[in-house]
Structure 1
Amino acid sequence: MQSVSPRGSLQLGDLPATRWERARAAVPASTLWSAVLVFALAVTIARSTSAAYWVPSGIDGIPFVALGAAVLMALLALTRLPSWLCVAAGVAGGLVVATIATAPEFRAQHPLDPTGAGLVQVWIIRVFEGSAFGDQAFVGLVITLLMWITGGWLAWCVVRWRQPLIGLIPGAAAFTTNVLNTPNQQGYTFIFLALTLGLLLWTTYTASVAKAVAARIKMTGDARWDFWETGLVATAALLVIGIMLPPMSTIDRTASMESSLFTKWAQIQSKLNQVGIQGNGTIPGRVSTGFGVTVSMGPRLSQSTTPVFNYAVTAGPYPGPYYFRGVNDTLTTVVDGKPTWTYGTNDHTQPIAANDSPTFAAQYKWMALATFTVNMLLPPGSGSGDIYFYPGQFYSIDKPAVAHETQVPPVFTFATQLVTIDRLAAAPPSFTTKGQYNVTVSYPDVTTDELRAAGTDYGDWLAPYSSMPADGYRPPAAMRFIHDLALSITAGANNPYDKASAIEAYLRDRNRFTYTLTPKQPPDGTDPMLYFLNSSHEGYCQYFAMAMGEMLRSLGIPTRLVNGYGAGSYDDIQHRQVVRDEDAHVWVESYFPGYGWIPFEPTNDGVAYANTIQRASSRSVLCFTDNHCTVPSPIQAVTSPVVKPSTRPKDPGASDQPIGANQNRFRWLDSTMITRIAGVLGALLLLLIGLGARYLRPRTVMGVWRRVLVLARMAGAELQSGETPSELEKRLGRAFPEAAPHLHSLTDAFVVAAYAPPEMAQSTKPSVMEAWASLRPMMVRRVLSRVRPGRS
């Protein structure tokens, strides 16, 4: 009869454990720890890439892709299959996983694409044409495949070839690109450095041990301790150097170094003329932030963090707001069935020589000057790459430029003089603003009382700015609602400034309106402005700016919208104020006789630079054109005038708090400081471990005996008064039975060394050291088991 007892032959419950034990026994401990470090590195690089936000739709799943590739290739590396077959299986698996992971994005972005072989043919054509590299779905596919290669190649090189440096090449390249182009990567940098150094140290150690075993060389215990002691100290030093040293450059050089493929990848240049439109623009709700030359109440947006430019104030001062003008939108019309503010249909141009100031038809009072140095990294696409961006009003630039004006007055009124500049563009033949330029701007240092007293003596040339189209722009009911609401809001205000301020305050009231990139869309047949003001009460900057602009124009107040960028955020890596696609912004300007165009901010998004614009309360001592001052005073570069919290994903310990206008101010607990603290603490921990290793490797026989007594006391065995070494050895042998033979050998040798003649005592040192090398790990384990009772 077959036994079914627990000790019988049918022990089914033990089969999984037996298989696991066999599998575990088949994998050496050195390989297992190498694999753990590889998995952690792959996930770190992938999470850094995800936080870099290369694709607006997000690639949050790539850490799982990198980890899956690392696990698969590590398992294949442990088999006896041919290398070419394992690598081919890894490549095929990467293509399948990347395709599956990005298929929803491809379907959303390209619903009209064919399927099957036709789809492959279409994308081959797009790749050769170059258009694929600006498509966010394709870029997502490439990044996902790169993360698969990063994890898989690293695991293969470490587990099969024992070559971690070769395995780190693709991952290090991807990680470097993230660090150079994305702020707040300090936490990932620290983790990457620690894991990389740990992997290199561990693989070097295991390789050395394997070579010694193959050569039948017996390694002493101190040889291992020497290696780890030196390695830990070197790792600590490299961590401190890597974290504490300043960057070699504060300018991102990748845009000029990368090939055109990777430049297009970094740019994600699929922006259309609408602000925020990205991709092919055919799918509602699949668009992202970015600069455009028109303003309409568009669909939902996602954020893009592609860097555009960085800047510093080099002469001034400049009190703000730090809004960088790109294009003035002055004409209200209908584009693709949507009410839209556009740049205008007329285009009067006037060349401007480098460092020259154009002649304007009207001269305004109390115009102060400031100079900005702008480093244009990646100019906007879609025909906007020639635009110079600058705050305030234009005064001069150190490059040849062309001024564009759209609402052109009758030529006999102002002759060749400019009334305003609606767009400042690069002069031919360059047609690009990429690189550095210095622009001097003017701004009105005017008080609220002066604006209230400015009056309404508008010239005839302002008529197009002061009214709405009689018909064809919005339904009559919507136009009446806008005008009646404006009258209601401004009831009691007796001057244009107070009226504009009242409408601004109304729209900024967070109890009435909510800022969001995902506003509710109006039902079919409902005017979007009417729906925004009367029902949804939620939108982003274009919604608020259009609402204020149209209400002011309905009241006869000259108004225009400005398309450009906000102040940006401080970059801890580049130590500059960096402006990105997500900083694209639209604001309002109204005209006040004698003072020109004055900015207003109707958007209240909770971001520091979108606060209500402050006016001067008294006249400052500045460089005024009224006083014939043409060169503002140089100042220390102010690179971070504002604080703008970011909503994009953060790495461990990241922060958006910049250093203030005073560059000497101590920045406490920003991302750089947190990373440096973590780096120093990690280095101190490694140094303490190294010092502990040094302490446990004494050079003399008496030093060995002292360490035995210290470790025995730490393990709970106190030295008793009057106890001889032999009595202590017997008592410790009973307390620590696993160490008894080594304790006996060491004690016998110590007694001879301590009490025998010098000639005989000297000969016992090698035996003492050998016994100590065997006893030391046992005593350390006993100490650790007392500190951590669960540890055996």
Structure 2
Amino acid sequence: MNRSSLSVSTSSLNIWWMLPGLGLIGLLTGAVIRSLAISGWATGLSILPAVGTMAFVVSLVLVNWQRLHRWAAHTVSFLLAWVWIVQQVGPLLDERLTSWRDQAAELVIRIIGWVRVLASGGRGEDIVLFVVALAFLSWWLVYATVWAVFRQRRPWLPVIANGTVFLVNYTYVLPKPDTEALVLIACALLLLVYHHVMQRRAAWEAQQINYPDLLPLRAMWAATVVGVVLILLTAFLPSTITSERAAQTWETLRIPFRMARAAWEDAFSTINAPPGAGSISFTARTAPLGGARSPGLDLVMTVRSSRLEYWRAVAFDRYDGSGWVNTTGELARSALGVATAEQARTPLAAGETLPVTDRRARRLITQTITLAQERNDDLLSFGGTPVQFSLPAQVEHLVGRDENGGITPIYDDVSLVTSLTPLSAETTYTVTALVSVADVQSLRNAGTDYPQWVRERYLQLPPDLPARVRAEAARVIAAANAETPYDQAIAIQDYLRRLTYSEDIPPPPSNVDLVDWFLFEQRAGYCDYFASAMVVMLRSVGVPARWVRGYASGDYDPEQGIYLVRENVAHSWPEVYFPGIGWERFEPTAASYTSLPERPLQSAFGEEEEGVAGSFGGTVPDPGRFEELEDDLTASGVNSGAASSTAANNPSAAGSSLLTGWFSVVLVILMGIGLIMLSVRLWLAHELRGLRLSAAAYAEMGWLANIAGLPQHPAETPAEYAQRLAHLFPEHATTIHGIATAYIAERYRRGAVTRVPTEDRRQALRRALTRYAIQTAFQRLWLPLRRGDRVGAGSKPAR
């Protein structure tokens, strides 16, 4: 077979040489598409493999259609994608739309409406459009990958694109698609090797350099072995981050993904939460009220606590008629002028105390939480009001302004707390919290002198709230003769507990207020509806309340002394604000896994000058003396307990662990580099086997020079190429010219006697080319940084 006919030029792509690349592209994009199809984000994603298969066939035809201009090819691909995706999405639309034309028209109308909603600042709710978006994304990944590899010769772009999509999906779903991840990594490495081998093969044939017929297959085999070994070596890397600085760096790297997630949630606010992003992931800004739910029985975490509590995750403040929105992070982001809500969170070092002010009728306790599952949202759960964590954390809280217009953090309005270190299964952390020991009389006497931030945020209701909801709240309160906010809350709580608890309810109708639908039409539901109804009814009569998500207490195991918290106790409940005391839990949901808060009628010790003694004994410090709270933490052993629960509070242990971790990383990197160098050396020796000494020496010199960024130009003769190299390496000029002269004599002068420079001189040339390659790579990385530093140092502030 004539090797020139196997060139990878765009004018004559040979299908036989394309087959290995096509196979790798199919596996690479297939892994990404399968991870999306099995993620569970929405019903209907099973169409994605069919979309990807058709995209693969279409891209193969268009890539080999050399006379078709690229923009024409892209247009044809888009039109075929639209036709095929409409055909696949058809079963998800109204069954009365039987023809392709009707289905296409329906999708166009939905897309136009969706764009208008987003342009006006609304949130998309069409789940079919979410499926269409992922279908187009899958088509584009396959088509762009085939096109970039075989027409543009840029494999890095599609590898990065596929990896980014996979990483975003991998971050938020459970169980993790680990098999697909390994396939993606292996195929990405092999695809890059395949592309490089094809490029070198084309260059060798253009220069008429002999090479073994099976060189591409041998190169792929060698790359496969090296890739598998490197993947196995990663198993020895440390699985946890012990450095707070490393954790903060990771948090910074995650900001673009979180920004993309926030935009995605705005565009498709009603997507289903897959396992790991649903019942045990609460960090989404919205919580729509939906239809039937079926929580699992898997263990989420265990909690060791001296007091039964609900384990809070996220507090929501805004009701829009269809669900709840957490606006705390957005308000903080706007006040601080940062890009994302995550950047507006306040970092909290391990063991650092959160300066809350509402501490009357509170008691300090310690809660030790051990996770049974990986938390992909890094959310920290707790009971009561948190004041200290044994892990470095970020607190999302309200940010206000003082009388002078300055920024004032409000730590009594915390919506959520996330860990700065990844939360994997078996992670244990300690929370020091203030839990309520308020008695009924204290709550009745709390009054209605609410802070401004409470009145502004926690009395909000949609302007189109049906009047009968307000009327029903007023009727219930009047019937109970409830005058104080506490008595009004109890009256509404008792009223709602008489409704039917059911998790098997129909999907709620659209364009109606769902609390109104629950109270007057459905009359049955689960915790989301009971808690929403109580918060809305209380707000309608001027009592500030918020909607909270998390977990009920769980099952108590007396033998181990812990609470077993499973997915089936994922719960929501209302909290009512009482001036000076803070947020108090109520329970309108009469379910088997819930419990009413226990409150004594009055304090067992009565009022004291510096605080209110709770029924558990001890006096809680006065809000104006926060230093005493820190003393209480230390005296009660809370700080020491937190320190012993994590290496973050033990400098020697943390330093030792960090040193061991970095030593392991360096060792694995050095082993990987050594293995790569050895594999390359063995591969090169194997590929040069069978060539005469002069041809082998010239091919080796050219290969090393090419890595160093000094390839032989197609129009350059061996003598001219040797002259250029000798100019750059004058100390090795004799060796370079000797290799080139021997190669020319052997190739073009039959029977000529050739003398190749000795092995010692060729080894010295190898070292010189290797050093040059390393220096060149270092300069490419370092010079832009130096240039940026000089520009930054030389810049002057604008006047």
User: Could you say whether these structures have the same fold, taking a TM-score greater than 0.5 normalized by the shorter chain as the test?
Assistant: no
Larger Rg, first or second structure (1 or 2)? 1
Report which of the two has the higher share of helix.
2
Higher relative contact order (CA 8 A, sep 6+): 1
Q: TM-score range by the shorter chain?
A: 0.3 to 0.5
TM-score, with length taken from structure 1: 0.44
